[in-house]
Structures are given as structure tokens and as C-alpha cells.
Amino acid sequence: MIDNFNELLSNSKVVGISGHIRPDGDCVGSCMAMYNYVVTYYPQIEVHVYLDPIPNIFKFFKNADKIEDIHTVSADKKFDLFIALDCSDGARLGDVFPFFEKATHTVCIDHHMTNGGFAEFSYIIPDDSSTCELVYNQFGKDKITKDIAECLYTGIIHDTGVFQYSCTTESTMDAAGFLMTKGIDYSKICTDTYYAKTMIQNRMLGKALLNCKTYEDGKIIAAVITAEDMAEYGAQSKHLEGIVQQLRDTTGVEVAVFLYELEDGDYKGSTRATGDVDLTVITGTYGGGGHKKAAGFSVSTKEPWKIIEEIVDMVKKQFNELGIN
């Protein structure tokens, strides 16, 4: 943990909070938990939270309406402390990074194994279940309100697949159990933010499943969604959440790969593994990162299936090294 974390807050007048671009449940949950912590225990601080537009399913968080667009901030805005959450490197902060760099003090709390430590003060536990679990540890039980608990519990379930991924540990379950005691509606959080799908989401999942390809006797599965596919159903990137997990859950699959086209024509790639394949080795080829069994990247290409073929070759190489036939 960061031993002088509360001292840093006490000595700050202006604090910024942010997470990675295209925020997911762990990112939004940790950022909003931090925001609510600061406004609750340090009301004298001018605090700002900056994120890309968040999925509607997370807008029930206390103070979610306080999230700001960094592009509305004056370039000469100064921060005494800037806190990065669930972010493996400065570039993942997007347009927030210049403000982070200029802050008097910087903090990073993260659980990605590719995080090399880009902040002045860091709390990084590679392959821990979630950044929300680390934030839970940083705050301490006596400082966790119901509003903070809702944010943290949501982040934990999203990065553990509701406690089914291998990153789930006894300490993860202990943390979740304590958060449940704060009076949160944990069943509703699981249903509304993780399991429930809109019709557009279901259609995009169907499109991905119909067009997917398998390799190596079904051990590898891959799917691509283009901008044209998304336009057909009026979909946005937020409607593609969960597709790579569904691909991974296919019987016999060791590795799942999912690519979708971004507005600028590049592709965002997500990978998942069920066995011993190290996905960071593969995503690192494209400047990406993440965790051994869940990693991502972005790539500029007009031939997404060619990228899939490259990834399949890299997975096959690891299969050979691991003795997977």
C-alpha cells in the first residue's frame, strides 16, 4: 500500500482522478470509489474525476454525474495530486496524461503485470483480482461507506467474471464479503451490470458468433466486428462488452481473440485464455498488455483477419512449447 496516501491528500488542495481510456467496470468502479472517498473524508479538496463516457450500467454510482470531460479543462490547470487507477502506463490515460505529468505529486494504483511504475507513488500488485480490491485495501474497512462499497464490489465482479476467473483469491472473497455487509444490493449489481444485455448487445454477440472461426481443432476461436457491422445494428463499442468472454467459454477453447473496429479505423483487440498460454507475450507484439489470461491491444490495420492469423501462429508456438496438442 501507499503509506503516505492520506498525508498526500491532506496536503492537497486540487486533486485529479482518472483511469484508462474506454473504461470498464473495474476502472469506473475504482475511480468513483476514490472520488467518493475524497469528497467524504476530505471535503475541503477540489476534486475532479475524468473519464471517457461510461456505460449506462455504471451511472447508478454515487456522483457518477460528476464525471468530467478532460477536453473541457484549461491547459494551464494545475493539480497538487493526480491519481491514476487501473492504468498500466501513462499512454492509457489518453488526453489526461499531460495533466497527470504536470501534477505536483502522482499516484498509481493498478494490478496489471505490464505496469512498469510511471507514477511517483505506486501500489501495484500484478495479477491481483482487480484495482478495486487494491483500493479496498488502501482505504481500510473503517473508511468504506455503502456508496464506496457499491463501486468497489462492481469493479471486483467485473474483473473476476463474478468470481469465476483464476485471479479470484481468498482475499478477493473476503473483500467482497465485507462489502456485502455495507448494505449494497449485490444481487442487483451482478444482474444489472454484468449479466443483463440489451437487444443491441445480443445482436452483436450473435453476429460475432455467426462469423467466428476456429483453429487447432477448436482450441482457438476468433471473431471480428467491423464498423459496418456496428452501423448495421446502431451499435457502439460499449455494446461489445462480454463478447470475448463468451467466445472463451466455448467448450474446448484454450484461447479466444476478438477484434472490433474503432471510429478512427484502427482495431481494438481483446484476448482471453483458459489454460497456460501467456497472452501478454502476444499482445506485447502490438504494444498492448494486461494479464496472462486476459490482455488487450490496439492495432492499425485494414486486414483484421490477417492479425488474427498472426495471433493464431503465436498461440500455436506457445502450444508447442507447453506440449498442448
Tell me the pLDDT band of 289, cut-offs 50, 70 and 90. Answer: confident
- 5-195 and 199-322 share one CATH topology? no
Q: What integer pLDDT is reported at residue 291 of this predicted model? A: 87
Q: What integer pLDDT is reported at residue 145 of this predicted model? A: 98
Q: What integer pLDDT is reported at residue 54 of this predicted model? A: 95
| The pairing of beta strand 220-225 with beta strand 255-261 | parallel
Per DSSP, helices labelled H in the chain are 5-10, 25-41, 97-102, 131-139, 146-160, 170-180, 186-190, 199-211, 227-233, 243-248, 279-283, 304-322
Q: What integer pLDDT is reported at residue 264 of this predicted model? A: 92
| pLDDT of residue 282 exceeding 90 | yes
Q: What is the mean pLDDT of the chain?
A: 96
- β-partners of residue 49 are 17
- Please give the CATH number for the structural domain made up of 199-322: 3.10.310.30
CA dihedral 187, 159, 18, 258 (to 10 degrees): -120
CATH superfamily of 5-195: inorganic pyrophosphatase (n-terminal core) (3.90.1640.10)
Q: Say what the pTM is.
A: 0.89
Instruction: With beta carbons less than 8 A apart as the criterion, state whether 297 and 307 touch.
Output: no
**Domain-wise residue ranges, the chain:** 5-195, 199-322
| pLDDT of residue 180 exceeding 90 | yes
